[in-house]
Amino acid sequence: MSEPLVRAQGVHKSYRLGRQSLEVLRGVYLTVNRGDFLALRGASGAGKSTLLHLLGGLDTPSAGAIWFDGHGLAQLPGAGLARLRNRQIGFVFQAYHLLPELDALENVCLPARIARVAASAARARGQELLARVGLQDRMEHRPYELSGGEQQRVAIARALINAPELVLADEPTGNLDSHTGEGIIELLCSLHDERKATLLIATHDAKVAARAPKVVELADGQIAPA
């Protein structure tokens, strides 16, 4: 049997809005095993992004616990959590979050350089990944010179540069037209098959979710019964 890689145990998340409290997650239990390809479905505003941020250590729960590879994220010191996010988790954001002053190759290589990979090795790996996502001729272009689909491909290559165990993709086709979005999903599926990384995609698109072998639904702040 596959081993659990990341788990959410009774996770709650609330935000303060003035004098009011907005409860987004209300006791989420979720286990993602190594090698899984899982789609997290739910309407806009259901808390999918919030849950991904918690699973990836970008935010902390109001209650409950997140475990990664047997370690509670709340018990990790700040430096340890940053190292985990950098080396073991790859993020693909809906808004790409590329640095505008860097070209495509520099954006892809940035996590590797933060991990203190030698510049030559990081560059070689970045070039390989950009070629794999079909951008071998766009490596020196800055984000504003790239289409939305090309920027998302750069973001995917960046997420993979440190060979992470877990890839979290938050609405990766949300800002793209249907044709480009289909290409991005095809790319993620093929990269999952090739690299055997655990892949969790948050989406409200039934067509995207249908590509995943496992689908869970987030509704009313909880994982809906199967």
**DSSP letter for each residue of 20-66:** EEEEEEEEEEEEEETT-EEEEE--TTSSHHHHHHHHTTSS--SEEEE
**Model pLDDT, residue 144:** 96
Say which CATH topology domain 4-223 has: Rossmann fold (3.40.50)
Angle at 85 between CA 83 and CA 90, to 5 degrees: 135
φ, ψ of residue 29 to 5 degrees: the values are: -120, 125
CA distances from 95 to 81, 92, 138, 202 (A): 23, 9, 19, 14
**Model pLDDT, residue 69:** 92
| Distance (Å, whole) CA 74 – CA 86 | 17
Average pLDDT over residues 3-7: 93
Domain ranges for the chain: 4-223
Work out the percent of the chain whose per-residue pLDDT is above 70: 99
Work out the percent of the chain whose per-residue pLDDT is above 90: 72
| Distance (Å, whole) CA 113 – CA 67 | 27
Average pLDDT over residues 212-226: 90
Residue type, 225: P
pLDDT tens, position by position, 125-175: 999 999 989 999 999 999 999 999 999 999 999 999 999 999 999 988 888
β-sheet with 4-17: strand ranges across: 20-33, 4-17, 63-68, 71-72
CA distances from 50 to 124, 134, 135 (A): 34, 31, 31
Alpha carbon distance, N-terminus to C-terminus of the chain: 20
φ, ψ of residue 83 to 5 degrees: the values are: -65, -40
pLDDT tens, position by position, 62-102: 999 999 999 999 999 999 999 999 999 999 998 899 999 99
**Model pLDDT, residue 145:** 97
**Model pLDDT, residue 1:** 53
